[in-house]
Amino acid sequence: MKRKIAAIFAADIAGYSRLVAEDEEETLRRLAAYREVVDDFIARAGGRIFNTAGDAVLAEFPSAVEAVRCAIDIQESLRTRNMAFPPTRQMSYRIGITIGDVVERDGDLLGDGVNIAARLEGLADVGGICISRAVHEQVANKLSVQFADMGAREVKNIPTPVHAYRVAMRREDGTYAPPQDKTTKSGGVRRLIVMAAASVAALVAIAAGTAFYLDSYGPQPARRDAAKAAAEALARLSGKPASPSPGPTAVAAAATPEPAASPVAAQPGPAPSTSSASAERFTPEAVPFVSERTRIALARDYVPAPAHKAFATTINGVSAYVTGQSSEDAAKAAALEQCQQRAETSNGPRKCELYAVGDSVVYAHSKPPLPPQPWVRHDPATERAFSAAEMPLVRDTGRARLEANYGSARRTKAIALGPGGQFFYSVGGDLVDDVVRRNLEACGAQAGTACLIVALDDAFVVPVPAVMKATGFFHAASHTAIAAEARDEVARRLAGAASGWNAIAVGTAGHPGYGLNGDREETAVGGALADCSTRDQDCRVIAIGPFTVEDN
């Protein structure tokens, strides 16, 4: 026997006995279909099913974050499937997750970790998820969901109380309901502790991704049709493409289709630089715009697949790949067709382009420009609450969209801003680093130059001027108002001023004045003007934080 620490996932169907009694044949048929979804999500998240019995599933995960994310994906996917049935015939899982020390014996897991997961499952709502305190500590700051503290609960056959939390689940309108504190009786998972059965092979399923939005100065398209969205979701859950793929043995999978939740339109701006088709070898970790989940799916499914295959994407991450096509041309056509179908139902940039054919990158554009790391620096001296009305460089129409769609949206969310006022933002993501990267890539591709993360969740994370008006990004090395011989020194001193408010002033001769590491914007501005006046005349402030500025 081998001992180890693992995240244990326990699930069974609420009211399963009643469903069987009412219609055994139909219930068993739907159970098999739902289990395909469950098993597939578990496999895709790196989990392993180690025990099953009837309607119940026990699985282990090496990561608590992946276990909870997988549980959320399962519940949301099955909620979509249940929409086709009346409430009395809906088939919903309860899921419990804990981290514990377990014993492995002949592939099965035993111990308190398994027992506690089963008890947590019994505390979960129908269609809900209940986690232990140990799991909550691991995922609270890594997943953009809410939790309800249920406190310590006495549960059967566990000598000490179990501190439990409920996870908020999505409503039918796409919003998240705060989890309510109520208990339910435990179901059939406890049977798994003493019963063993074979695991079921996983099928292809789709991982949900972050909803992306692109600012524009043009007209807004209409909101996506709810019925069409539901049909698309059902098609994705079934593992079938939205339309038939050319080629008799085609295998198609969405590479995180990223549905959008509010109207957007195309953003004007410089087009990315183009080059001839690259001979670069395809590597999933280098693919821009898409989520880490999509990269994982590409590494698992696309890379090892033989020819003929292709992968297409948009800059907001709507994408699709196909394998097993009859020819290279058929692969390219199928990838573009399926990507375009998904793009047409999303509220973002709708132009799909081939990124890879076979094992070669054929993307016609250069890599999106990115700023140097770190992409986000938290500084309590300069961070303040996000306000759409104070968004720098952006026109009033863009601020109105941010006010309507960003301010009240759920985390994780971020805004990337270009020097010409282009901006790209996303809401409802999982991992902060993933959301930040994808916003910067999409904004950079649209702007043709590196963008800046100005807001993360509900705060500005760069110094946003209030006493003066931002007019662009400040680059000391190329700013013509600064004397040429002084530009390197300005850049060096700004690089060394890592916190607080920074301002630069110049006089008629281009001699700079510095206001660095100020506790307030006004302090930095006053310091820069005073310093400049000691070596030049008619001084004026030209930069605050990362922005060039002028008088309001």
Homologous superfamily in CATH for domain 2-180:
Nucleotide cyclase, GGDEF domain (3.30.70.1230)
DSSP H or E run through 164: strand 162-167
- What is the spatial distance between Cα 267 and Cα 443, in angstroms, rounded to a whole number? 10
Give the residue from 99, 97, 137 showing the smallest Cα distance to 117: 97
Query: Looking at residue 78, what is its pLDDT?
Result: 87
pLDDT tens digit sequence for 195-208: 433 332 332 232 33
Query: Looking at residue 174, what is its pLDDT?
Result: 43
The more confident residue out of 333 and 76 is 333
- What is the spatial distance between Cα 229 and Cα 71, in angstroms, rounded to a whole number? 22
Instruction: State whether the Cα torsion 99-104-108-109 is positive or negative.
Output: negative
pLDDT above 90 for 7: yes
478: number of Cβ within 10 Å? 9
pLDDT tens digit sequence for 269-308: 333 333 344 469 999 999 999 988 899 899 999 999 998 9
Domain limits, the chain: 2-180, 213-361, 384-460, 469-550
pLDDT above 80 for 227: no
The more confident residue out of 78 and 202 is 78
Sequence-distant (6+) residues with CB within 8 A of 452 are 371, 416, 417, 418, 462, 473, 546
- What is the spatial distance between Cα 166 and Cα 148, in angstroms, rounded to a whole number? 5
